[in-house]
A = this chain, B = another copy of it.
């Protein structure tokens, strides 16, 4: 029997001028609320510490190095780590990582209740583009500022639960979920920053985009019999709107908690991780039902190859 109260700490927009310390103070206020509600594991968004700067273009990428962290924990985040350790709470959050080798990643970590980083993940599926593209209603330059992640989708046992990480666009790709599912994942923790408008289609506004978000998370959870927490940084940020829609989903693919606003907001649910076992041993018993001899293209081929005319 592994029951745990889990939470998602949705964060409203973070403007360019806000300091890391100001953001961490907001994160800690949500952590205090979470502790009051008995939360034992808390998920924060992607790129929690800063504005979503890939909406801005700079010719010289190094000008944006100040959005990146060169160590973790660091001066600004140490109080967050200390507070969580004091509460005996595990947590995950995303930030931009600049390595000693000068590589840039969109990164997320899981921190144990003892304050140790027990899993680091670097975003695999970078959306958007690398150069300025004037036909877009706004820029989404993740492929400019980040390298595609080199970690893959690993999992870790933390607080008695098999946990994995995904970031934003990863949630739309069933491959992300399945690789973790094959490692028995019971809780997928996801942060995202998702613009409310498709920058190449005026027709795809917030309602369609929230639907796609929820469809992807619910399908991924159901098809791998895992809990999922998907948490937004959202609302108005430097004049751009990102949708909210933070959710907690059970291993049957149903939403069991949902944010109601677009600002800093805690969502909470009780997870009974034993409930993962039913799906994993019946309809999604992978050993009994998967037929890998017919899946080869998924790994051997990256893009589309249509049949001959």
Using a CB–CB cutoff of 8 Å, the interface residues on chain A facing chain B are 124-127, 148-149, 152-153, 155-157, 162, 169, 172-175, 177-179, 181-184, 198, 200-201, 204, 208, 211-212, 215-216, 218-219, 222-223, 252-254, 278, 280, 282-287, 289-307, 309
| B126 lies within 8 A of A174 (CB) | no
Contacts A174-B178, A174-B223; is A300 near B292 (CB within 8 Å)? yes
| A297 lies within 8 A of B212 (CB) | no
Give the distance to chain B from A62, nearest Cβ to Cβ, in Å: 25
Residues of B within 8 A of A299 (CB): 292, 295-296, 298-299
Query: Which of B153, B183, B216, B219 sits near A307, CB closer than 8 Å?
Result: B183
Give the distance to chain B from A206, nearest Cβ to Cβ, in Å: 14
Give Cα A155 to B304, complex, Å.
Answer: 12
| B219 lies within 8 A of A215 (CB) | yes
Q: Which residue of B lies closest to A160 (CB)?
A: B309
Give the distance to chain B from A208, nearest Cβ to Cβ, in Å: 7
Number of copies: 2
Given contacts A127-B289, A174-B174, A174-B175, 8 further A-B contacts (CB under 8 A): A153-B294, A174-B219, A179-B298, A183-B297, A201-B278, A285-B303, A286-B304, A295-B298
Residues of B within 8 A of A177 (CB): 174
Contacts A125-B289, A292-B299, A295-B298; is A306 near B216 (CB within 8 Å)? no
19 contacts between A and B (CB under 8 A): A125-B291, A153-B294, A155-B307, A156-B307, A162-B306, A162-B307, A173-B290, A174-B177, A178-B297, A182-B297, A200-B278, A212-B252, A215-B215, A216-B219, A285-B303, A287-B302, A290-B302, A292-B298, A298-B298
Q: Which residue of B lies closest to A294 (CB)?
A: B152
Residues of B within 8 A of A300 (CB): 292
| A305 lies within 8 A of B183 (CB) | yes
